[in-house]
């Protein structure tokens, strides 16, 4: 059995780290630093959720700190194995990790000055420059496209990801009884990105882990972007001001140098005096120059023809602080590219202080500006900003060019995915929540493959490349009968605390159940008819008195038909499904099921398992109501939070569904039909909600009871 755990970049973009366990081997893919909100950054401190000494090897996709930044911590805590990375990634890491170690040391030093004054114990840095240097000894250089046996049962191949120089897609073959092929996209680049090659197309994966940074967005195209850059340069130079570009040291700075060189060679902009004012960017650029042989064709040609974008008489790399400060006295005619990319740290802040108040100057933002950063405030049109404790008037022009991303946008990601001939299942990672989920749904629609957005720390068991389950430690003891076929999900508030999928959705086509699978709700369809009726009562279309008649008796569709004089399926769709946005809930005829719906299986008198369409035809062909765990959760929280019906209506409606139990109040809806058995329900305050959906008839109640006991206690 193989096990995968998502220890970072799950519903967020930073801290990429995936743990693969097979037999007694444990491998990490990436070991990145967390950025962003405090609760994520906290994960950089404290212990790893595994024993670093037990890790056998690390496969590193690329040098960006959100993928490599915790490697020195791993080594500091006892990891002694090899770190596989391309030669460029290795060289870039030797400067990036040392720089990161330096940042950790100085941050802690600053914090400790305060802590000591307050009489608190001093903190230790996550790691030091020395730890970073020690880490470099464990790097093993990989060549693109070459297969390497890491352990007898584990083979690996790095492919060009076209993201930043040296970035790799990782192909990993794990052999147990059978061989499972895993593919980690790493960060994927765009087509036509400067300097780097286009991403390599992969055609086979049993399990694919794909990034989704721009899974729901589209970039400004390349030509438009270059034209825009030329306009900004020309108008600034005409006004006689300086052009300031906050840019990440690795990748973005080199892209800009390349683009400026292309525009100069074309004669679209005049020769410029360009200053790279970031020691880290200067070092990264020199690593690029050492590895010119892995550039794409255009960039290699430029170097060969003596037109290298990185070395020209007018491109200057400032080293000392004095040199940097000298730039402050120049009022116009310079292009200054400096870190950080969001202008919230580094030398760029000095340049902004000395130029923002100048009407002739321009600040050009070429990367993502996070909420709360100086770059974002400028982008949002602030008239005044505080820099180093001083208020500075903003008179300069603020420009944004969005297309400079080193990440594939939605179109490019889909394009890369479409080249696969076989994908078993997909995990979507490395994106903000909306990106991950939006992109997952898109993949599901476009490619018709099972897609999962893993939660942080979520663990998946892969048996024979088939069965997958997920565990939150609280649910470790759950006993799932091997006859059970379906999906379970537990939500704590808005968060999914646990979920699992077992068995086949369609045995004939060997389609497995997955979190998006739609299940027949059986007799629970009447609950939806009741909801629709309650809406009609609230709208005054049906007599208020009907509310008094409410019970959990399953005749509500007939009642709805009588009282509304319309087809109950249509009324439910109009009054419940549409207003609540339940996009995966719909009525289907069993002989016309869509790809995502599970076929029901029932056992005949002679003990044979058959598709339930035969059993259900006996009561005449009528559409069945199908839904997903996701939609039911959405429905429940709207209901108990009073967002769909008035609270007094909800109380009346739910009363007959209350479970007889000593523990806190609990409402449960059960649905049954041949080949369908579902339970959903929870507390009236939406803190806990449990769903069990099955396209079989076995072991459903016991599973639901166990989950209720785990979430609500008692019973
Ligand atoms: Zn990256
Ligand atoms: Zn990344």
The pairing of strands 422-429 and 451-452 is parallel
Q: Could you tell me if 139 and 251 lie in one domain?
A: no
Domains held by the chain: number: 3
CA 14 – ligand 2 centroid, Å: 6
Task: Return the bridge partners of 86, or none.
Answer: 142
The maximal CA–CA distance of the chain, rounded, in angstroms, is 92
Q: Could you tell me if 117 and 213 lie in one domain?
A: yes
Ligand closest in space to the Cα of 30: 2
The C-alpha atoms of residue 245 and residue 399 are separated, in whole angstroms, by 10
Check which CATH number belongs to the domain holding 299 and give it. 3.40.50.10890
Q: Could you tell me if 462 and 417 lie in one domain?
A: yes
pLDDT at 446: 87
Give counts: helices (H), strands (E), the chain: 22, 35
Task: Return the bridge partners of 469, or none.
Answer: 461, 500
Which residues lie at CB < 5 A from ion ligand 2? 66, 187
**Residue 610 maps to a domain:** yes
**Residue 674 maps to a domain:** yes
Check which CATH number belongs to the domain holding 105 and give it. 3.60.15.10
pLDDT at 188: 97
Ligand closest in space to the Cα of 63: 1
Q: Could you tell me if 167 and 277 lie in one domain?
A: no
CA 17 – ligand 2 centroid, Å: 11
pLDDT at 471: 47
**Residue 670 maps to a domain:** yes
CA 13 – ligand 1 centroid, Å: 9
Q: Could you tell me if 329 and 237 lie in one domain?
A: yes
Check which CATH number belongs to the domain holding 662 and give it. 3.40.710.10
Ligand closest in space to the Cα of 67: 2
Q: Could you tell me if 365 and 439 lie in one domain?
A: no
Last residue of a domain, one of 438, 471, 504: 471
Nearest to 71 by CA among 165, 25, 160, 138: 138
Q: Is the C-alpha dihedral spanning 375, 379, 380, 386 positive or negative?
A: positive
Please give the residue range of the domain that contains residue 34.
Answer: 2-217+407-471
**Residue 428 maps to a domain:** yes
Q: Could you tell me if 195 and 301 lie in one domain?
A: no
CA 233 – ligand 2 centroid, Å: 29
Place of tokens 């024979």: 464
The pairing of strands 179-184 and 204-211 is parallel
Ligand closest in space to the Cα of 163: 1
Q: Could you tell me if 458 and 492 lie in one domain?
A: no
Q: Could you tell me if 651 and 538 lie in one domain?
A: yes
**Residue 348 maps to a domain:** yes
Q: Could you tell me if 318 and 281 lie in one domain?
A: yes
Alpha helices per DSSP H over 335-463:
348-355, 374-379, 410-418, 433-447
Q: What is the mean pLDDT of each run of 10 residues along the chain (715 residues)?
A: 92 95 96 86 87 97 97 97 98 96 92 90 93 98 96 96 97 93 96 91 96 90 88 96 95 94 95 94 96 94 94 91 91 94 90 96 91 90 94 96 88 95 93 92 86 87 57 67 91 80 87 86 94 92 75 80 91 95 91 88 87 77 92 92 91 86 79 94 85 94 89 63
Last residue of a domain, one of 400, 429, 454: 400
The C-alpha atoms of residue 107 and residue 84 are separated, in whole angstroms, by 29
Asked if 537 and 549 touch (Cβ cutoff 8 Å), the reply is: no
Q: Could you tell me if 301 and 392 lie in one domain?
A: yes
- Kindly state the helix (H) or strand (E) to which residue 141 belongs, with its residue range: strand 139-142
**Residue 481 maps to a domain:** no
**Residue 605 maps to a domain:** yes
Predicted model pTM: 0.74
CA atoms within 13 A of residue 442's CA, in its CB half-sphere: 19
The C-alpha atoms of residue 404 and residue 246 are separated, in whole angstroms, by 13
pLDDT at 484: 93
**Residue 476 maps to a domain:** no
CA 191 – ligand 2 centroid, Å: 17
Last residue of a domain, one of 471, 498, 519: 471
Q: Could you tell me if 373 and 459 lie in one domain?
A: no
The C-alpha atoms of residue 257 and residue 276 are separated, in whole angstroms, by 9
- Asked, as a colleague might, if the bond just before 340 is cis with ω within 30 of 0, I would say yes
């Amino acid at each position: 059995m193989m096990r995968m755990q998502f220890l970072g970049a799950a519903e967020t973009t930073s801290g990429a780290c995936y743990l693969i366990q097979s037999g007694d081997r444990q491998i990490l893919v990436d070991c990145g630093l967390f950025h962003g909100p405090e609760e994520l950054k906290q994960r950089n401190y404290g212990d790893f959720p595994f024993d670093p000494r037990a890790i056998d090897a690390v496969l590193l996709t690329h040098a960006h700190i959100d993928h490599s930044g915790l490697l020195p911590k791993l080594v500091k805590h006892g990891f002694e194995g090899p770190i596989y990375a391309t030669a460029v990634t290795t060289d870039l890491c030797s400067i990036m990790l040392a720089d990161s170690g330096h940042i950790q040391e100085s941050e802690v030093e600053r914090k400790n000055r305060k802590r000591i004054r307050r009489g608190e114990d001093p903190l230790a840095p996550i790691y030091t420059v020395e730890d970073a240097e020690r880490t470099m000894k464990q790097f093993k250089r990989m060549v693109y496209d070459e297969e390497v046996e890491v352990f007898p049962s584990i083979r690996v191949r790095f492919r060009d990801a076209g993201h930043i120089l040296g970035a790799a897609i990782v192909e990993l073959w794990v052999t147990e009884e059978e061989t499972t092929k895993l593919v980690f996209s790493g960060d994927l680049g765009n087509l036509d990105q400067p300097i780097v090659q286009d991403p390599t197309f992969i055609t086979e994966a049993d399990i694919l882990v794909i990034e989704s940074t721009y899974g729901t967005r589209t970039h400004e195209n390349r030509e438009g972007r270059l034209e825009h850059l030329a306009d900004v340069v020309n108008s600034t130079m005409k006004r006689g001001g300086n052009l300031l570009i906050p840019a990440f040291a690795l990748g973005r700075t080199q892209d800009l140098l390349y683009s400026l060189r292309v525009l100069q060679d074309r004669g679209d902009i005049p020769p410029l005096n360009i200053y790279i004012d970031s020691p880290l960017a200067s070092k990264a650029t020199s690593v690029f120059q050492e590895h010119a042989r892995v550039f794409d064709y255009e960039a290699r040609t430029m170097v060969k023809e003596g037109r290298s974008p990185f070395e020209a008489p007018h491109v200057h790399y400032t080293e000392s602080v004095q040199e940097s400060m000298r730039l402050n006295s120049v009022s116009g005619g310079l292009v200054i590219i400096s870190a950080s990319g969001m202008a919230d740290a580094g030398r760029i802040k000095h340049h902004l202080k000395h130029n923002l108040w100048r009407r002739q100057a321009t600040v050009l933002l070429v990367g993502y500006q996070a909420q709360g950063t100086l770059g974002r405030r400028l982008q949002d049109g602030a008239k005044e900003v505080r820099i180093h404790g001083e208020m500075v008037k903003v008179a300069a022009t603020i420009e944004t060019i969005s297309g400079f991303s080193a990440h594939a946008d939605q179109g490019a990601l889909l394009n890369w995915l479409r080249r696969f001939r076989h994908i078993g299942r997909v995990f979507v990672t490395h994106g903000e929540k909306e990106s991950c989920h939006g992109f997952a749904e898109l993949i599901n629609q476009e490619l018709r493959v099972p897609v999962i957005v893993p939660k942080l720390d979520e663990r998946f068991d892969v048996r024979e490349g088939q069965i997958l389950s997920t565990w939150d430690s609280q649910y470790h003891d759950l006993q799932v009968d091997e006859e059970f076929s379906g999906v379970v999900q537990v939500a704590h508030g808005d968060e999914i605390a646990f979920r699992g999928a077992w068995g086949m959705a369609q045995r004939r086509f060997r389609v497995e159940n997955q979190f998006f699978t739609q299940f027949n709700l059986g007799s629970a369809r009447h609950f939806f008819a009741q909801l629709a009726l309650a809406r009609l009562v609230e709208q005054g279309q049906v007599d208020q008195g009907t509310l008094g008649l409410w019970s959990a008796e399953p005749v509500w569709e007939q009642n709805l038909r009588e009282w509304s004089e319309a087809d109950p399926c249509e009324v439910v769709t109009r009054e419940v499904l549409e207003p609540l946005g339940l996009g995966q809930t719909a009525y289907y005829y069993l002989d016309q099921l869509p790809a995502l719906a599970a076929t029901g299986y029932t056992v005949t008198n002679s003990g044979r398992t058959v598709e339930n369409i035969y059993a259900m035809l006996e009561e005449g062909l009528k559409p069945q109501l199908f839904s997903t765990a996701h939609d039911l959760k959405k429905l429940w929280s709207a209901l108990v939070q009073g967002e769909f019906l008035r609270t007094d209506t909800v109380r009346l409606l739910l009363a007959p569904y209350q479970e007889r139990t000593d523990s806190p109040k609990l409402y449960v809806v059960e649905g049954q039909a041949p080949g369908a058995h579902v339970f959903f329900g929870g507390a009236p305050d939406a803190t806990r909600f449990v769903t069990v959906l099955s396209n079989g008839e076995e072991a459903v109640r016991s599973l639901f009871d166990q989950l209720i006991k785990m979430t609500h206690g008692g019973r």
